[in-house]
C-alpha cells in the first residue's frame, strides 16, 4: 500500500515539476521552441552559411596579417623612399654622391620630370630641402645641404622654372630618411627633397 502511494506521489510530483521548469509562454527572456523556429524562419541556409565565414575572415585580417603582405608593404615603403624621399609626389627626390653637390647623371631624368611638372603648374611654389648623411661636422653638413639645394635650383631655373618659385633650405644631417649607420642609409640621406609649400 505504501509503495502504491509512493509511486503515485512520485508520478504526480514529476508531472507537476515539468511546467515549473519551462519558462512561461510568451516570456521575453527565453523564447519557446516554436518562437525560436519562427525567428529563424526568414533566414535562408545561404545567409547562415555566409555570416560565420565573414566574421572569421574579419578577425583573421585584423589579428593575423600574412607575412607576405607585410613584406610587400615594407618593399613598397623602401621604393617610395628611393623615389620620393620626403618630396611631395609627383616631384621626385634628387640623390647625391658622398661629399658632393653636383647633379649625378642618373638624376638628370628626374630633374627633367620635376621641371616639366613645375612648368605645367605655374601656381606651385617648392621648397628645395638639402640633406646630408651624418658624416662631417654639423656646420659642414649645413653648408653642403645648402649647396645641394642651390644646385637643384640652378638646374630647374635653366629649364625655365622661375627662381621666385624655388626656395632653398638646408637641414644638414638633422633629418635622416634612414636612421641606420650604413652605406645604404647614408646614400638615402644625401638628397634634395622638393616639397610643395603653395
The mean of the pLDDT values for the chain is: 78
Q: All 3 cell numbers of residue 62?
A: 585584423
Q: How far apart are CA 172 and CA 190, in angstroms?
A: 9
Q: How far apart are CA 31 and CA 134, in angstroms?
A: 72
Instruction: Write the pLDDT tens digit of every residue in 116-137.
Output: 999 999 999 999 999 999 999 9
Q: Specify the DSSP class assigned to residue 55.
A: H
Q: What pLDDT band is residue 69 in, cutting at 50, 70 and 90? A: low
What is the percent of the chain with per-residue pLDDT over 90, rounded to a whole number?
Answer: 58
Query: 193: closest CA among 123, 46, 73, 92?
Result: 92
Residues in contact with 168: Cβ distance below 8 Å, sequence separation at least 6, in sequence order = 127, 128, 130, 146, 149, 150, 153
Query: What pLDDT, on the 0 to 100 scale, is given for residue 76?
Result: 83
Of 52 and 73, the structure prediction assigns the larger pLDDT to 73
Of 4 and 190, the structure prediction assigns the larger pLDDT to 190
Report the b/e string of 1-40 with b at 16+ CB within 10 A.
eeeeeeeeeeeeeeeeeeeeeeeeeeeeeeeeeeeeeeee
In which element (H, E) is residue 175 found? none
Query: What pLDDT, on the 0 to 100 scale, is given for residue 4?
Result: 61
Q: What pLDDT band is residue 33 in, cutting at 50, 70 and 90? A: very low
Q: Looking at the predicted structure, is the pLDDT value of residue 51 above 80?
A: no
Question: Which CATH number is associated with domain 85-196?
Answer: 3.30.1330.60
Amino acid at each position: 500500500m505504501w509503495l502504491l502511494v509512493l509511486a503515485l506521489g512520485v508520478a504526480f510530483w514529476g508531472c507537476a515539476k515539468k511546467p515549473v521548469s519551462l519558462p512561461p509562454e510568451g516570456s521575453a527572456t527565453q523564447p519557446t521552441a516554436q518562437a525560436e523556429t519562427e525567428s529563424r524562419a526568414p533566414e535562408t541556409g545561404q545567409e547562415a552559411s555566409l555570416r560565420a565565414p565573414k566574421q572569421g575572415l574579419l578577425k583573421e585580417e585584423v589579428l593575423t596579417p600574412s607575412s607576405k603582405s607585410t613584406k610587400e608593404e615594407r618593399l613598397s615603403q623602401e621604393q617610395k623612399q628611393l623615389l620620393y624621399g620626403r618630396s611631395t609626389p609627383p616631384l621626385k627626390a634628387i640623390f647625391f654622391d658622398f661629399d658632393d653637390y653636383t647633379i649625378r647623371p642618373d638624376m638628370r631624368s628626374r630633374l627633367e620630370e620635376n621641371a616639366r611638372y613645375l612648368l605645367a603648374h605655374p601656381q606651385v611654389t617648392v621648397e628645395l630641402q638639402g640633406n646630408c648623411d651624418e658624416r662631417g661636422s654639423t656646420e659642414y653638413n649645413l653648408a653642403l645641404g645648402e649647396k645641394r639645394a642651390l644646385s637643384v635650383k640652378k638646374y630647374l631655373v635653366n629649364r625655365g622654372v622661375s627662381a621666385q618659385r624655388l626656395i632653398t633650405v638646408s637641414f644638414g644631417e638633422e633629418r635622416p630618411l634612414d636612421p641606420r649607420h650604413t652605406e645604404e642609409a647614408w646614400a638615402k640621406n644625401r638628397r634634395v627633397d622638393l616639397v610643395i609649400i603653395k
